[in-house]
Structure 1
């Protein structure tokens, strides 16, 4: 009896996880979404392991070996976190859509790193992560619509997902507000470091602006068609 209950619970958990992984905000293909989530969790585990290892007391005889291992683990994390912030979100957005996961990808390692370090200031890393996340979410929106329509002219097929458009717009606004606060208070040298990444806002603005322009035009044409049909 207990075994049957455990089996049902296991099946229920698997079904729930599967439903989450198939959510369109996370990605179009479940396996690709699962692979990306697993990679992100592995990155977080690497960070936590390298941090917790420095807090565990060890004997002097083992200190040299353990310190070397932790330093290597930290170097691995640093080597992985930079592309995760700057490149992976765009690659995933083009590969599997999913504006939600694309937006979160650069934010997670930065947020976890700041939390572990006890830093709760809106700094350059968070501004960069928000900027990249918003642009990646916009790219994911386009990628998903192109794949659903099977054409680069997806707006002519009526396959635009308005719910995802609203989500991406909200991400862009949230990121813009946060980055705006950073720009207002950051010293000049940080603004110089941020400037190259700041150009990515052109992508976000262009995508979101074109989408809303298409929505307005569609609503306008629909209104005109109704006015023509009505006596």
Structure 2
């Protein structure tokens, strides 16, 4: 490939990256969105190093037995994964909004682990990640609209730019809820016991989404009634 082709590909890639970083579903401020993407990239890099240490052999000896550095990488990775599933999505939701990226954050490390283990069945870790993602995504929607409406009850203002975000969060919540329903239906009681402490997080997306849609429906009904009254008055 020539230098001109490489430069052309680089220039073609930049608008796509800018579009993703500037998308409202990714975050309010591009700099903060970039930090979150860089964090996830670093997490993926740590996972790749840890995976290589546990699977790549040199002279029939695993890499992680040749250096203590792999032990430190694995420790850091465990801490980072735990934080990424339980803390980071909620912190990012409050800090920068971005319902789409917020939903994806806890799923990234779990998906990597499942792929590495060859596991394609919904397990406890994935169920927790889906629950955290749904709750954090709804919190991101709320945080964005609190700033925009300057009110702790932003759903009272129906319509406007919040509707596309509300639709996205609603879809993500429904998808996550469907996955959890499948999980609860097939897993053994021990797995349910491990998941149970996280079930309370569903109060967040259900409460926020229901509050928004209640106002949207009431506004739509009132608007339709006003139009009907106007039509009768005209006739």
Q: Same fold (TM over 0.5)?
A: yes
Alpha-carbon separation, structure 2, partners of 1:29 and 1:83? 22
If the length of structure 2 is used for normalisation, what is the TM-score? 0.89
1:176 alignment counterpart: 177
Check if 1:24 corresponds to 2:24: yes
Cα distance, 1:148 vs structure 2: 2.2
Aligned residues: 230
- The CA deviation string for residues 183-219 of structure 1, in whole angstroms up to 9 with x for no partner, is 1111112111111100111111101111110100111
Q: Offset at 1:66?
A: 3.2
- Residue 154 of structure 2 is aligned to residue 120 of structure 1: no
Residue 111 of structure 2 aligns to a residue whose secondary structure is helix
Question: 1:42-64, CA deviations, whole angstroms, 9 ceiling, x for partnerless residues?
Answer: 00110111101233222589967
Q: 1:226 to 1:199 in 2, by over 3 A?
A: same
User: Where does structure 2 lack aligned partners over 5 or more consecutive residues?
Assistant: none
Q: What's 2:110 paired with?
A: 110
- Per-residue displacement from partner, 1:93-114 (whole Å, max 9, x unpaired)? 1111111011111111000111
Find the counterpart in structure 2 of residue 52 from structure 1.
52
Structure 1 counterpart of 2:13? 13
Root-mean-square deviation (CA, aligned residues, Å) is 2.3
CA separation of 1:157/1:181 partners in 2, compared to 1, >3 Å: closer, same or farther?
closer
Deviation at 1:163, TM superposition (A): 1.2
After TM superposition, the structure 1 = structure 2 runs for residues 5-154 of structure 1, keeping only pairs within 5 Å, are 9-59=9-59, 66-154=66-154
Shift of 1:171: 0.8
Alignment pair present for 1:196 and 2:188: no
Gaps spanning 5+ residues in structure 1: where?
Answer: none
